[in-house]
Structure 1
Amino acid sequence: MTDAALPAHAPLATQPLGLLGSLRAARENLLTILPEIATRQPMVSGRTGIRWHMVMEPGAIRRILLERVDDYPKSQATKNLLRPAIGESLFIAEGAHWRWQRRAAAPVFSRRNVQAMGPIMTAAATRATERIEAAGPRAVDMLDEMVRTTFDVISDVTFSGDDVFDSGAVHRAIDAYIAEAGKLSLLDMLGMPDWIPRPGRMFSGRAVAAMKTVADDAIEARRASGPRGTPDLLDLLLEGEDPETRRAMNTAELRDNLLTFIVAGHETTALTLSWALYLCAFDPEVQEKARQEAQSVLGTRTATGEDAAKLPFIRAIVDETLRLYPPAGIISRTARDHDTLCGRRVGPGDTVMIPIYALHRHHQLWDAPDAFRPERFADGAKVDRYAYLPFGDGPRVCIGASFALQEAVLVLATLLTRFRFSAVPGKSPRPVMILTLRPEGGVWLTAEPV
């Protein structure tokens, strides 16, 4: 492969969009609000209803996410969008309410617990290979297949063997909510308060309300029946408490966090795997090198949790995939106080964005930033911590990052030992972001048994 042949990327704006242009872009593909200059400058500012700043300089990002994290809470637009579905869960909560939940939930995602979930990931990877093999020589949409695979995992680790809880209905309800309500409202862009109704969120919220009732009933049933022999995510959360205050989550808090884990816990990994398979098909040399590594470790068996550390090149492919196609392509904060970033004044109420998609393709931070080069992350290569943020950073770094990375490595390694993936002509995916960065049109590949 030469760098002249680059994988799919989103066209960035070359001129100011204005309010209506920004609204149209935000509702169709949020990536297209990013100016191309954001991949070359440390900071870009403007006004679209409210004043905004895009920050791409690692030192300033460290200040936002770590040094002054309390002065940069999640933006009101983000909270308006997600609160009806996931309440005041870890993803939304701020301050003391966030801190105690984080302390209570952190042990759930300890290294020991994540490794204990390995057999569930292994079983889901095995089922995926069986489905792909049964599909025969025809093209398969690997996005659909990876969504099914990762949803199998999150269902089993959340409510294992529980007939009371319909996890598929939960996923469909939240997906429907995001499809209708997840698109940025003009009221959000104008900075209007959240007590002004957003019609799309009102209508789509009915299915979510019904789903929450079902989830509450399932949690209460488990609370009454007690933990399983092998604890699942719900058991671990029911047992969890803040080590400082001994406070435990009530039913509503458990439900909101479980819903967050169910959706985020499979959506982001499914997208990472879909894009990784696309990139392996895009670059057969990388795919073959990864296959040789996987086969040398696995032979023909399915990968297990113990194998993850023995697959460094496949992990590098996952890391490079997360650079090119970060599931959360933009994160947004609202400045709470006066500050200076990159020599520029930021005022209270300003929207401060970290456009991770642009940061990961920044010409001052990465060599050939649009090229697919897994070796950037191989053999102990050093990467600026605040130039690479697939899971955020600071105290609010994604709590499930190690879970997602282990799952992605195990599934990708298993698939590459069994199949040789090739692109389908005319079916290249288009990166589109509404809430997460998805391959529009799916990832259509042919899978030839090795």
Structure 2
Amino acid sequence: MMLIIILVILVVLIFRWAYRAHGRDPLDDLPGPPRLPGIGNALEFVNVGPDMLFNTMLKLTSKYGDRFVLKMLNTRVLHTSSPHDVEILLSHSRNITKSTPYTFLESWLGTGLLLSSGNKWHKRRKILTPTFHFNILKSFYVVMEEKSRNLVEVLRQTQGRDVDLLPVLSDFTLYTICETAMGTQLDMDKSAASLEYKNNIMKIGNLLLSRLTRIWLHNDLLYKMSPIGKQFTKCLNIVHSFADNVIANRRRQKMTSTDEVDPEGMKKRMAMLDLLLEAQDKEEIDLEGIREEVNTFMFEGHDTTAIALTFCLMLIADHEDVQERIYEECRQLLDKCEGRPGMSDFSHMRYLDAVIKESLRLYPSVPFIGRRIDEDFYIDDLLVKKDTQVSIHIYSLQRREDLYSEPQLFRPERFLDGEVKHQYGFVPFSAGPRNCIGQRFAMLEMKCALSAIVKEFKLEPRVRSWRPGLASTMILRPLEPVYVRFIPRH
């Protein structure tokens, strides 16, 4: 029965798009794989999983160049990895709407900063920008430092055995963002609600990935009827319930206490949620808006950073000279600040900064950025019409031979000697008006964790020069576990 429903809906959609009146589009003259009447290239992607999808996009870029077009039913998708095109697209002040796949996140995140556009996006960006001010980041740094010390202890307990990086680092980033975003110590709270929240946050990512790679589940009705959709709804209810309870509890605490210190005399830590509650008091945001932004922080500040740290530690372990240079930089910094670096001290760790950037160049956590065009505009003399979808290939952009010498090599010095010539040739946090609002937060968290690890351990790869296969939907992922050994220095 389900198969019949799927087939009927697909046939209706095909005829609807195939016979809709529309003029010729200038994008049809661009290169790309052959398109079938009515359905374009849709059939080519029906059974393509996340690993195949990523490699398919790399092959298409290699075959058709900087700029090519795919047609999915009646929707044209312009793909580009040209820094010139990327600059025009990302710097545009009005074409800032995210592309269709992002809408699959709406049931979880609502239309917060990540998914909103127009006036709502501008208003939310204005409210949230102070959240990442230097003085606010200082209070978050205290949490990052504590969680980094905890991470070091977890790694010490492995006693030099192989460690599957991603699960360990996912715990670290989840605990960090949970405390900085909501003020909740998920690693200390062993209640059933906290454990359920942690487990279901992990599940949601996998379920979204499953939907994205199954084109028949892009229809909301079919998705809600499917086993994957029902499981997603169940997970979502648990995640939303936990976040709602935290928001309500934090609001009660704020109303009943004016103290800036806790019962033990320690200064209370500021959470992003506290800043949102203050905005609510000023009638700048409502309760639903707070929920949207808290859930958005949890999504954007967890998985992406864990992935970035996984690839960065893999590369550091495989390059002993890089590792020792980071260690020496850490040692010199510790000597200057008497063993306890503050947040501002990390600005002096120029080499560690270059290592992180070079890792993000090779393995950007978000390898593709999508936009839906809201108004006609031109890329040079090419007209890009309203409702066109655009996909920016960050992964391919940052490995271009005309931008980077020997682009496949891990060479942090690129970011010290001025090799990066084009400001839109390195965009792991996007760029322009919709650049990642949390990039300073993410960089600080990574510096804090990496310096703590390299200071205490020598890192060794399981296999020298090994690299995992890659998969991607919204976030880049290794197809196999990435193993590193952590040998105590002392």
Distance in structure 2 (CA, Å) of the matches to 1:109 and 1:329: 24
Q: Tell me the TM-score normalised to structure 2 length.
A: 0.80
Distance in structure 2 (CA, Å) of the matches to 1:16 and 1:183: 27
- State whether residues 223 and 238 of structure 1, in contact with CA within 8 Å, keep that contact through their aligned partners in structure 2: yes
Query: Which residue does 1:283 correspond to in 2?
Result: 319
Deviations 1:299-327 (A, max 9, x none): 69565423211211011010011111111
Structure 2 residues not aligned, in runs of 5+? 1-31, 36-40, 261-267
- State whether residues 320 and 374 of structure 1, in contact with CA within 8 Å, keep that contact through their aligned partners in structure 2: yes
- State whether residues 121 and 407 of structure 1, in contact with CA within 8 Å, keep that contact through their aligned partners in structure 2: yes
What is the correspondence of 1:142-181 to structure 2 with a 5 Å cutoff? 142-161=165-184, 166=193, 168-181=195-208
> Residues 249 and 166 of structure 1: is their aligned pair in 2 closer, same or farther, counting only changes over 3 Å?
farther
Query: 1:122 deviation in Å?
Result: 1.1
- SS of the residue aligned with 1:367? coil
> Residues 446 and 33 of structure 1: is their aligned pair in 2 closer, same or farther, counting only changes over 3 Å?
same
Distance in structure 2 (CA, Å) of the matches to 1:406 and 1:144: 21
Which 4+ stretches in 1 moved above 6 angstroms?
14-17, 162-165
Query: 1:381 deviation in Å?
Result: 5.2
Match of 2:87 among 58, 62, 67: 62
Match of 1:41 among 62, 65, 68: 65
Distance in structure 2 (CA, Å) of the matches to 1:60 and 1:96: 26
What is the correspondence of 1:88-237 to structure 2 with a 5 Å cutoff? 88-161=111-184, 166=193, 168-185=195-212, 197=223, 199=226, 200-226=228-254, 229-237=268-276
Instruction: Give the aligned length.
Output: 431
> Residues 364 and 166 of structure 1: is their aligned pair in 2 closer, same or farther, counting only changes over 3 Å?
farther
Query: Which residue does 1:364 correspond to in 2?
Result: 402
Distance in structure 1 (CA, Å) of the matches to 2:55 and 2:427: 20
Distance in structure 1 (CA, Å) of the matches to 2:79 and 2:248: 44
Q: Tell me the TM-score normalised to structure 1 length.
A: 0.87
Query: 1:248 deviation in Å?
Result: 2.4
Distance in structure 1 (CA, Å) of the matches to 2:473 and 2:66: 24
> Residues 334 and 179 of structure 1: is their aligned pair in 2 closer, same or farther, counting only changes over 3 Å?
same
What code does the residue aligned with 1:273 have? L
* Corresponding position: 1:411 with 2:449: yes
Question: Percent identity over the alignment?
Answer: 24
Query: 1:37 deviation in Å?
Result: 5.7
Query: 1:230 deviation in Å?
Result: 3.0
- SS of the residue aligned with 2:478? strand
> Larger deviation: 174-183 or 121-130?
174-183
* Corresponding position: 1:268 with 2:304: yes
- SS of the residue aligned with 2:437? coil
What code does the residue aligned with 2:209 have? G
* Corresponding position: 1:240 with 2:279: yes
What code does the residue aligned with 1:155 have? C
Distance in structure 1 (CA, Å) of the matches to 2:375 and 2:210: 28
- SS of the residue aligned with 1:70? coil
- SS of the residue aligned with 1:89? coil
Query: 1:160 deviation in Å?
Result: 2.6
Deviations 1:310-364 (A, max 9, x none): 2110110100111111111111112233333254332232221001111111222
What code does the residue aligned with 2:45 have? S
> Residues 91 and 165 of structure 1: is their aligned pair in 2 closer, same or farther, counting only changes over 3 Å?
farther
- SS of the residue aligned with 1:387? coil
Query: 1:392 deviation in Å?
Result: 0.8
> Residues 181 and 273 of structure 1: is their aligned pair in 2 closer, same or farther, counting only changes over 3 Å?
closer
Query: 1:98 deviation in Å?
Result: 1.1
Match of 1:325 among 363, 369, 372: 363
Query: 1:404 deviation in Å?
Result: 0.3
- SS of the residue aligned with 2:171? helix
> Larger deviation: 389-398 or 171-180?
171-180
Query: Which residue does 1:389 correspond to in 2?
Result: 427
Query: 1:32 deviation in Å?
Result: 1.9
- SS of the residue aligned with 1:147? helix
- SS of the residue aligned with 2:302? helix
Query: Which residue does 1:249 correspond to in 2?
Result: 285
Distance in structure 2 (CA, Å) of the matches to 1:372 and 1:15: 33
Query: Which residue does 2:480 correspond to in 1?
Result: 441
- State whether residues 271 and 327 of structure 1, in contact with CA within 8 Å, keep that contact through their aligned partners in structure 2: yes
- State whether residues 26 and 33 of structure 1, in contact with CA within 8 Å, keep that contact through their aligned partners in structure 2: no
- SS of the residue aligned with 1:323? helix
- State whether residues 183 and 434 of structure 1, in contact with CA within 8 Å, keep that contact through their aligned partners in structure 2: no
Distance in structure 2 (CA, Å) of the matches to 1:137 and 1:413: 18
> Larger deviation: 143-152 or 105-114?
143-152
Distance in structure 2 (CA, Å) of the matches to 1:237 and 1:84: 21
Superposition CA RMSD, Å:
2.9
Bigger-Rg structure (1/2): 2
Query: Which residue does 2:28 correspond to in 1?
Result: none
Distance in structure 1 (CA, Å) of the matches to 2:238 and 2:183: 22
Distance in structure 1 (CA, Å) of the matches to 2:222 and 2:323: 51
Query: 1:241 deviation in Å?
Result: 6.2
Distance in structure 2 (CA, Å) of the matches to 1:15 and 1:76: 21
Match of 2:436 among 398, 405, 416: 398
What code does the residue aligned with 1:214 have? F
Query: Which residue does 1:76 correspond to in 2?
Result: 100
